[in-house]
Structure 1
Amino acid sequence: MRWFALPVLLAVTPLAAEEPAPGANPIIRDRFTADPAPLALGDRLWLYTGHDEAGEGEMFNMKEWLAYSTTDMKTWRFHGPIMQVADFKWTQKDAWAAQVIEKYGKYWLYAAVEHDATKPGKAIAVAVSDRPEGPFTDAKGSALVSNDMTPKGTHSWEDIDPTVFTDDDGTTWIAWGNRQCYIAKLGKDMVSIDGPIREITPPHFEEGPWLHKRGGLYYLTYASLDRSDHTDERVSYATATALDGPWIYRGELTGSGEGSFTIHPGIAQFKGQWYLFLHNAALTIGTQKGALGRRAVTVEHLAYDADGLMRRVTQTAAGVTAPPPAP
């Protein structure tokens, strides 16, 4: 009698999708976030974001600002919404890009909003808190910057995306804009403009400026759009030896964010390392896929060459779970 080996059919169970490593991109995965603004305070890095809540067919639906923090760049603690756009009684909608800085022992939030009908167009609001996690309250009761203050602009949404920076002499500056980039000194009260508003628009400037300093060099990093060459924003930057310029264009720092027309840089040094925060539209939550109004914050290592220029950054899924680049 001869025996034949018969094939054995095994039930194959699909492998569960591997969970991304803590700190991999996108770094926030339980909700859609955009317009990252980091703030390093001692051994904790704070991250302020917008909250994308767009449904199908919506462009942007943003009603509040959120706060996160980390001590290791891998695990992020959620501190909840820190402020609603409705808390600014003179606004009507749009909790767009914001940045928080510390000065005088308080925390100051500067944010882009839509002004009510008394001063139509986008505007910049300022709020204050005794703690980095908020809650924040309106510090002025009216706009810090409104559209009528920049009459040379070409459209009503040019006064958005504030970035605020305190120089070594204690002077605090604010820059902002869409298509045009403006800069001005803040008053010592942190809720007024002290002196003229100057235009410093670098090549291909679209929006989302970010100011920082390293050594004796100032950096203006921003979302750029070369309309003759591409359709999605990228990140470019310029440098100067004084905040009011002249600014020297240094080219692109990154390409576009995955799946996203917009991109928004935020830069911080934390525990001896430099980081570049961005957003893309690569996140899916349940059945909701990333989109123009459903973005996700990411972070990458940032490095400089011997001349102080920033090395080009490649956006990755690994993010800071990969080792930093060699010096």
Structure 2
Amino acid sequence: MYGLGNALRGGFVGVGLSLAVGAFAASNPVVTNMFTADPAGLVYNDTMYIFTRHDEAPAGHEGYIMNDWHIFSSGDMDTWVDRGAALSIRSFNWARGSAWASQTIERNGKFYWYVTVHDGRDFAVGVAVADHPAGPYKDAIGKALITSDMTPANSGVNYDIDPTVFIDDDGQAYIYWGNGAVMGYRLKENMVELQGNMFNVTPPSFTEAPYVHKRNGYYFLTYAYGWEERIGQATMKSPTGPVSNSKVIVGYNKNSNTSHQAFVEFHNQWYYIYHTGAIGGSFRRALCVDYAYYENDSTIANITMTDAGVKKVDHAPIRDGVYRIKARHSGLSLEDAASAVIQMDSEESESQLWALKRIDGYTYTLRNIETGKYLSFGKGNLLDTARTVDAENRIVIENFNVDDGYRLYADTASEYLGDVLNISTEAGMPLVVWKQTGTQNQSFKFEYMGDESAYSSSSVEVAPESSSSEAVSSSSTEITSLVAASGNLGARIIGVSRADGLRFSQAADYALMNLHGMVVARGHAAQVAVKNLAPGAYVVRFGGRIQKIELR
């Protein structure tokens, strides 16, 4: 945060808590009737709350004028309600100006709002408290929690600004802050007292705006990187460091020399919350929201700032009933094919119909009407294949957005989800487990077909043991690396004569796939004719096993 010579020019603005004073439809910027900057987010009771400071500088003014903080909320990421100026400099009788960056966190039913102010001598961090995220808030301790005389002269900290707060899984809370360097303290259970020793977790090219969040066991420190500012990320082995793996993940801001960010998860989707100067410049900034994804457990994927923003989400539960489930990218239907879940051209087959039953929250079961088996992602590991199983199996179904449909997750603790392999639009491609990418092969439309009572609980007709099934000829002869299986293939490759065919010790459900993941034969038999298939490697699923074979 630069332009300090102008930081105290603004006068006081008297405010109180106001209820919804305006609503805004989603696109970037989210708010256009006022200027808002340095956002931080909080999810509570199925609602996203975003806390911002309020840029009040007139057009052409070179400096910050900020006297209060605003709260915006949304239940669907599309319509945002301005909760008003819920906190101001006047809320802290020891503060003298500069309502700068802040963050709010919940603990034990209380909401603690940590803010940057100027105390007349230098910048400081105060804390307000409320019983609801929208307020009303009041000064929690009647004095600053962090002041400039607490920060060592050799720490590298220029200004004690930009607080961020994080509570780890063990219940220990931490506060971080700083311009020029990142300092931190543990917080006591009451969230308004420091404990232990101050620590330094400064990453390379750090300017300001630290923000800490945790995902899949990794601690992420994101921050304003360099000048003019971009957004960088680093990871920490613990909340107190050390810091490693620093990289830039967001480019230069739109018409603003500063950047400020938060990463918040809402219904299994991560959001990147930030400001730009697109409509007002560096001293008249505006709140924006985009999607965030991860390359792997320790790396946030590069983010492109967009004008479109994010799409509306419908968190209403799906009603029980029978559905046809179509992949958004291909329009093909999910089918139970001998216990493998694949996408196929839609047809009048009960193997493409699924009885959905809500258990609680966003947990459901999906039972195939024809086979009576339940959709399962196994252990939910990367590249596990979706299968149907006899025992009742629960999965998580959440709406991605109203345009693209729903996502299917292995369980509530997993961010891995159902993904049509290779974004293929070909029939026969399997449903596998993959990381979130935002692509439409991870979204599914649920078409309601009627009440379950209208469908019989039929099962697959079992063919006699002596029956055979002719394989579908395949025009594909290209052999690629094996990507369709879940990694639990038999260690050896079994050679099979095309003339003799594929034989099992007894009749079994089977599915034969090429190495593109396309199903080329399926059924229930003890012998499968393969003379029409091209020589090469294939994968066969039978009797609950997966085996790689070579047709010769």
TM-score by length of 2: 0.52
Match of 2:236 in 1: 240
Match of 2:111 in 1: 107
Contact 2:174–2:186 (CA under 8 A) maintained in structure 1: yes
Q: 1:307 to 1:127 in 2, by over 3 A?
A: closer
Between 1:264-273 and 1:315-324, the stretch displaced more is: 315-324
Distance 1:241 1:312 in 2: 22
Match of 2:32 in 1: 29
Match of 1:15 in 2: none
Structure 2: state its 5+ residue gaps: 1-23, 312-400, 405-436, 443-552
Q: Deviations over 1:16-70 (max 9, x none)?
A: xxxxx93210011111000011101131010100000002324100000100100
| Paired residue type of 1:25 | N
Distance 2:175 2:128 in 1: 14
Distance 2:159 2:245 in 1: 21
SS of the residue 1:235 aligns to? strand
Match of 2:13 in 1: none
Measure how far apart 1:152 and its partner are. 2.1
Moved over 3 A (4+): 153-157, 321-324
Measure how far apart 1:135 and its partner are. 1.6
1:63 to 36, 59, 67: 67
Determine whether 1:48 maps to 2:51: yes
Match of 1:152 in 2: 153
Distance 1:124 1:198 in 2: 17
Distance 1:34 1:153 in 2: 30
| Paired residue type of 1:295 | R
Contact 1:63–1:93 (CA under 8 A) maintained in structure 2: yes
Distance 2:34 2:286 in 1: 8
Measure how far apart 1:250 and its partner are. 2.8
Measure how far apart 1:153 and its partner are. 5.2
Match of 1:8 in 2: none
Match of 2:511 in 1: none
Match of 1:298 in 2: 288
Contact 2:74–2:81 (CA under 8 A) maintained in structure 1: yes
Contact 2:158–2:181 (CA under 8 A) maintained in structure 1: no
Match of 2:223 in 1: 222
Distance 1:127 1:249 in 2: 34
Determine whether 1:312 maps to 2:302: yes
Measure how far apart 1:182 and its partner are. 0.6
1:1-327 to structure 2, matched below 5 A, reads 22-55=25-58, 56-116=60-120, 120-152=121-153, 157-225=158-226, 231-283=227-279, 290-321=280-311, 325-326=438-439
Q: Determine which structure has greater relative contact order: mean sequence separation of CA pairs < 8 Å that are 6+ residues apart, divided by chain length.
A: 1
Distance 1:170 1:76 in 2: 31
| Paired residue type of 1:99 | Q
Distance 1:215 1:41 in 2: 21
Distance 1:163 1:247 in 2: 17
- Identity of matched residues, %: 39
Q: 1:209 to 1:188 in 2, by over 3 A?
A: same
Measure how far apart 1:158 and its partner are. 1.7
Contact 1:203–1:249 (CA under 8 A) maintained in structure 2: no
Bigger Cα Rg: 2
SS of the residue 2:300 aligns to? coil
Distance 1:87 1:22 in 2: 30
Q: Deviations over 1:135-186 (max 9, x none)?
A: 2110011110000000325788521000001110111100110001111101
Contact 2:157–2:181 (CA under 8 A) maintained in structure 1: no
| Paired residue type of 1:109 | W
Measure how far apart 1:200 and its partner are. 1.2
Q: 1:199 to 1:156 in 2, by over 3 A?
A: closer
SS of the residue 1:91 aligns to? coil
Q: 1:183 to 1:161 in 2, by over 3 A?
A: same
| Paired residue type of 1:251 | K
Q: Deviations over 1:171-229 (max 9, x none)?
A: 1100110001111101222111111111111001001111100011000000111xxxx
| Paired residue type of 1:305 | E
Contact 1:33–1:52 (CA under 8 A) maintained in structure 2: yes
Structure 1: state its 5+ residue gaps: 1-20, 226-230, 284-289
| Paired residue type of 2:231 | V
Distance 2:153 2:202 in 1: 13
SS of the residue 1:197 aligns to? strand
Match of 2:525 in 1: none
TM-align CA RMSD: 1.7
Distance 1:52 1:262 in 2: 13
SS of the residue 2:304 aligns to? coil
Between 1:50-59 and 1:295-304, the stretch displaced more is: 50-59
TM-score by length of 1: 0.86
Contact 2:47–2:73 (CA under 8 A) maintained in structure 1: yes
SS of the residue 2:149 aligns to? helix
